[in-house]
C-alpha cells in the first residue's frame, strides 16, 4: 500500500524533491525560487516532465497488492452506504431479520 501512496504523492509533488538536488536559489526579475541543477536533468525528464516513475510505481502497487479487490469493494460499499444514509433510504423489513437464521 505504501508504494501506491508514494506514487500518488510523487504525482502531485513531483518537482518538490528535485528542486533541492543541486538547486540554486534565484531571486531575479525573471527567475524566482530554487532552480534545479543541470546534473538532475535526466531525473527531471522522467519524474517531473513525464511522471513515468510514479505511474510505474502505481501500476506495480496495484498489481501486487493482495488486498486490492477487498479495498476497492469495501470503498465502493462504504460510499454506497453513505449515499443511502444521506438520501434517507430505508431497508424495509430489516428489523425483522436481525438475529434470524434460515435452517440449512
Of 11, 103, 102, 104, which is closest to residue 56 (Cα–Cα)?
11
Helix, strand, coil percentages in the chain from 3-state DSSP, rounded to 5: 60, 10, 30
Per-residue pLDDT tens for 35-73? 777 777 787 788 778 888 888 888 888 777 656 666 677
Instruction: With beta carbons less than 8 A apart as the criterion, state whether 40 and 24 touch.
Output: no
Lowest-pLDDT choice from 6-10, 11-15, 45-49, 68-72 = 68-72
Inter-axis angle of helices 52-64 and 2-12, to 10 degrees?
A: 160
The confidence score (pLDDT) of residue 45 equals 80
Handedness of CA 44, 48, 53, 57 (dihedral sign): positive
Residue 47 grid cell: 519524474
| Assessment of whether the complete model's pTM goes beyond 0.85 | no
Amino acid at each position: 500500500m505504501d508504494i501506491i501512496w508514494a506514487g500518488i504523492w510523487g504525482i502531485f509533488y513531483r518537482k518538490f524533491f528535485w528542486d533541492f538536488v543541486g538547486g540554486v536559489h534565484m531571486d531575479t526579475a525573471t527567475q524566482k525560487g530554487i532552480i534545479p541543477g543541470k546534473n538532475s536533468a535526466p531525473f527531471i525528464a522522467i519524474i517531473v516532465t513525464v511522471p513515468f516513475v510514479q505511474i510505474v510505481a502505481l501500476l506495480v502497487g496495484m498489481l501486487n497488492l493482495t488486498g486490492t479487490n477487498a479495498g476497492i469493494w469495501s470503498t465502493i460499499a462504504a460510499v454506497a452506504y453513505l449515499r443511502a444514509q444521506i438520501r434517507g433510504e430505508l431497508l424495509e423489513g430489516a428489523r425483522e431479520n436481525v438475529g434470524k437464521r434460515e435452517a440449512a
